[in-house]
Amino acid sequence: MASMSALDTVTVIGGGLAGSEAAWQLAIRGIPVRLMEMRPTVVSPAHHSDGLAELVCSNSFKSDDPATATGMLKRELEALGSLIIAAARAAAVPAGAALAVDRDGFSASITELIESHPLIELVREEATVVPDGDVVIASGPLTSANLERALSELVGDSRLAFFDAAAPIVAAESIDMKRAFRASRYDKGEGADYINCPMNREQYDAFLGAILDADRVILKEFEQKDLFQACQPIEEVARCGADALRYGGMKPVGLVDPATGERPWAVLQLRAENHAATAYNLVGCQTNLTFSEQRRVFSLVPGLENAEFLRYGVMHRNTFVDAPRLLAADLSLRSNPRIRIAGQLSGTEGYLEAAGGGLVAALGIVNARLGHQTLPIPEDTALGSLIAYATNPDTSRYQPMHVNLGIMPPMDSIRAKRARRAAIAERAAAAMLEYSRAHAEALHPALAAASEIVG
């Protein structure tokens, strides 16, 4: 790489999972980095330490089974030479099929690697403006208020959200179509856009009773402010009265159940979440119920008895941009490519997803400086499908997403679930192998550094 001057320094804002990964990927390729982390000067409501890459909640990186989307993501990050996955492997604690870590050891090792890298200047300061030059903004779901203001000016108020209000998403193949039916209200729209789960009065009453009784996630104080103004969770609507749901989002008007020839008492509608229609969103069912209660309550709805949840509903404080409208596949702003947004702020969700975003943003800068075209991570991989989903301008009503099989290209020709998942994992591994071979030279420094970390 050509020699760099101070002007070539990249500013990375946020020393979390995405920012630490991005800073490291740039530095090991000879690019100087100014990494701005506001802690401990300014504290976040969820972080407890001043360490980099602090895990704010669980110490688990989820399943390590290669036939799961999270297992695929781990292998893909390894193939790309990720710092975060290497440090996680080195700090692993026994956790069955999951990869879990000693959180203090994990954060301490990353802090030490970053602090001791000669090309990284770690500045413990809050960023309140978006600086000049190449920038990776990775300030996370709890971005400071001052930077939120600067971001609003940069991307527009309407393109920045401050909380998740996500409804559950289920696998299409797990919906019982003998009980559910396809139709749009009054037959409007392009054909039968919705899957409808019809309820009679008894079924509706049972569902309502269950939702009123169900356990909710106790929100932290910082998450309660402003949360419910935007989008009422289904359990709050249910509390407004016995008919509130069936006069609201579950209204049966314009729908006739083909099994009875009559209008149902209430209907839960599901809308396709992706082009392949492998994943369906429970319309209007944003919820704060615990995950196990979501499984129990929604399984009372005819057609969803055995629904497989690809994502559970969540409601919490979360700053993120409207990625489908703002970001290109290399996570640069379409309106200003010198600025990249990575991690949870870019509208993905999850520790390793954040690391993956930081890595992609850094590779984009490296390629741009070398005059190389940045090839997107293949869509057949877990990471590539997540980025494709998040940056697809056709995605409307965007809510943050984590990796899952529902957003990966389907393999419908294989009917047996286990065999299909194994085939998807095999296809993902082959796609990543091809990608890493094509980028062998660019990936070499990261792979060499990662193998030293894992030891």
* Residue closer to ligand FAD, measured from CB, 126 or 308: 126
Segment interacting with ligand FAD (CB under 6 A) among 2-10, 75-83, 154-162, 339-347: 339-347
**Amino acid in position 322:** D
Binding mask 290-329 for ligand FAD (x = CB under 6 A): ----------------------------------------
44 sits near ligand FAD (criterion: CB under 6 A): yes
User: What does the block give as tokens for 135?
Assistant: 């920038």
Using the rule CB under 6 A, which residue among 29, 34, 39, 117 binds ligand FAD?
Answer: 39
Closest-by-Cβ residue to ligand FAD is 16
User: What does the block give as tokens for 406?
Assistant: 């529902």
CA distance 441 to 60: 32
* Residue closer to ligand FAD, measured from CB, 29 or 103: 103
CB-CB contact of 340 with 330 (8 Å): yes
What residues numbered 82-141 form the site for ligand FAD, per CB under 6 A?
126-127, 138-141
Segment interacting with ligand FAD (CB under 6 A) among 8-16, 166-174, 359-367, 433-441: 8-16
Using the rule CB under 6 A, which residue among 285, 297, 323, 354 binds ligand FAD?
Answer: 354
CA distance 139 to 20: 11
* Residue closer to ligand FAD, measured from CB, 252 or 347: 347
Segment interacting with ligand FAD (CB under 6 A) among 240-248, 325-333, 348-356, 406-414: 348-356
CB-CB contact of 307 with 170 (8 Å): yes
Angle separating helix axes 69-79 and 351-370, nearest 10 degrees = 30
**27-45 b/e with 16+ CB inside 10 Å = b?**
bbbebbbbbbbbbeeeebe
CB-CB contact of 34 with 26 (8 Å): no
404 sits near ligand FAD (criterion: CB under 6 A): no
Please provide the distance, in angstroms rounded to a whole number, between the alpha carbons at the two ends of the chain: 27
| Cβ neighbours of residue 110 closer than 8 Å, sequence gap 6 or more | 20, 51, 52, 53, 83, 84, 87
* Residue closer to ligand FAD, measured from CB, 155 or 267: 155
47 sits near ligand FAD (criterion: CB under 6 A): yes
13 sits near ligand FAD (criterion: CB under 6 A): yes
User: What does the block give as tokens for 236?
Assistant: 């709050």
How many chain residues bind ligand FAD (CB under 6 A)? 34
Q: Which residues pair with 390 in a beta bridge?
A: none
CA distance 452 to 450: 5
* Residue closer to ligand FAD, measured from CB, 39 or 369: 39
* Residue closer to ligand FAD, measured from CB, 127 or 211: 127
Q: Is the dihedral of CA 367, 344, 433, 420 positive or negative?
A: negative
What residues numbered 274-293 form the site for ligand FAD, per CB under 6 A?
none
CA distance 452 to 454: 6
* Residue closer to ligand FAD, measured from CB, 48 or 437: 48
143 sits near ligand FAD (criterion: CB under 6 A): yes
Using the rule CB under 6 A, which residue among 11, 24, 33, 37 binds ligand FAD?
Answer: 37
CA 30 to chain centre: 30
CB of 13 to ligand FAD, least distance (A): 5
CB-CB contact of 117 with 453 (8 Å): no
351 sits near ligand FAD (criterion: CB under 6 A): yes
Distances (CA, A) of 302 to 6, 167, 205, 379: 63, 18, 13, 34
CB of 156 to ligand FAD, least distance (A): 19
* Residue closer to ligand FAD, measured from CB, 110 or 142: 142
Query: Using CB under 6 A as the criterion, which residues of the chain lie in contact with ligand FAD when the complex forms?
Result: 13-19, 36-39, 44, 46-47, 56-58, 126-127, 138-144, 147, 343-345, 349-351, 354
